[in-house]
């Protein structure tokens, strides 16, 4: 069972802590084995300013963790606790995957884990992170960054995005999507999506893109173009591009391409379709095109992905 260590310090904000506990701590029947969540750190630490945490394990629990998840700190102006910094550094050196939510990035930076890497945190604190740790390349405009063994997220809801991303890495897209449905949150927001939308944009059933997105998702096997999407939305291609950029942080074509790859992931996990059949059903056309785009986006060919995450639908 994959062990996730979640350190708690005095003043740990409640939101990110609760999100991590909901994802990794609840008993899920979405996969053959889920996670073992270990809350560790200071017994009696104040959480969220008004709750007291009963902690059974000290920071030594990080030494046996597969993933160490650092949530927000009380105040990024205060230096991280030295004992926590050293425990995180040692866990990473031992081979643990280390991820931070929101201002937890300051602890990772203090431990030297972000030196020479891209990283992010809540947009309100990116300037402070950059000035305090100049060897880190801070990106204020993304939801989360996956740098392999070290991952960082922006603030609040972006922490949930990163948690779901970790589940997706460990258990595959179908399981992560099923969990997102249970939690009633978006199944997947790409890490490169902007932290905040520059103009007010409505969401839900009445949003201008809701209809065209649903229309496109029902027709991923067809050779759709941006012009097709604009025609269905009843607007010009330029206007459509503005709306997509405001909502997704990217172009309509990029969104469409992401949906095709995501559909391919689900079919690889849950069906017996050949690579050629999946290429047809996702609008990729040929197996060669599917392999090229799949590998570019996910870093592995579809055959390797299927071997890694293949589980029968009944097992889900």
Q: Which residues belong to the active site?
A: 102
Tokens for 201, please give them.
Answer: 């944009």
Partners of 206 in the β-ladder = none
Between β-strands 46-47 and 51-52, what pairing exists: parallel, antiparallel or unpaired?
antiparallel
Residue in 31, 45, 43, 24 with CA at minimum distance from that of residue 97: 24
Contacts of 146 (CB under 8 A, 6+ apart): 165, 169, 191
Strands (E) in 64-136, as ranges, are: 67-70, 97-100, 118-119
Residue in 70, 158, 60 with CA at minimum distance from that of residue 109: 70
Between β-strands 97-100 and 150-153, what pairing exists: parallel, antiparallel or unpaired?
parallel
Q: At what angle do helices 237-248 and 252-270 cross, to 10 degrees?
A: 60
């Amino acid at each position: 069972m994959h062990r996730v260590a979640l350190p708690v310090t005095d003043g740990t904000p409640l939101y990110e802590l609760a999100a991590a506990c909901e994802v990794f701590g609840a008993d899920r029947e979405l996969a053959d084995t889920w996670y073992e969540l270990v809350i560790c750190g200071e017994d009696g630490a104040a959480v969220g300013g008004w709750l007291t945490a009963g902690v059974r394990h000290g920071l030594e629990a990080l030494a046996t963790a597969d993933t160490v998840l650092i949530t927000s700190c009380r105040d990024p102006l205060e230096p991280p606790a030295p004992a926590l910094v050293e425990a995180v550094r040692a866990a990473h050196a031992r081979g643990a995957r280390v991820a931070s939510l929101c201002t937890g990035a300051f602890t990772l930076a203090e431990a030297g884990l972000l030196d020479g890497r891209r990283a992010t945190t809540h947009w309100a604190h990116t300037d402070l992170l950059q000035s305090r740790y100049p060897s880190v390349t801070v990106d204020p405009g993304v939801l989360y960054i996956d740098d392999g063994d070290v991952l960082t997220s922006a603030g609040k809801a972006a922490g949930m995005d990163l948690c779901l991303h970790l589940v997706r890495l460990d258990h595959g897209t179908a399981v992560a999507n099923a969990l997102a449905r249970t939690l009633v949150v978006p199944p997947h927001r790409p890490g490169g999506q902007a932290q905040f939308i520059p103009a007010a944009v409505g969401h839900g059933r009445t949003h201008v893109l809701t209809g065209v997105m649903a229309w496109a998702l029902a027709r991923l096997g067809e050779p759709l173009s941006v012009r097709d999407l604009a025609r269905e939305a009843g607007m010009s291609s330029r206007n459509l591009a503005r709306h997509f950029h405001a909502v997704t942080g990217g172009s309509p074509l990029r969104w469409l391409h992401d949906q095709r790859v995501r559909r391919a992931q689900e079919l690889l996990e849950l069906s017996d379709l050949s690579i050629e059949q999946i290429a047809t059903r996702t609008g990729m056309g040929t197996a060669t095109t599917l392999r090229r785009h799949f590998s570019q986006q996910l870093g592995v060919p579809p055959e390797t992905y299927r071997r890694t995450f293949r589980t029968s639908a009944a097992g889900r």
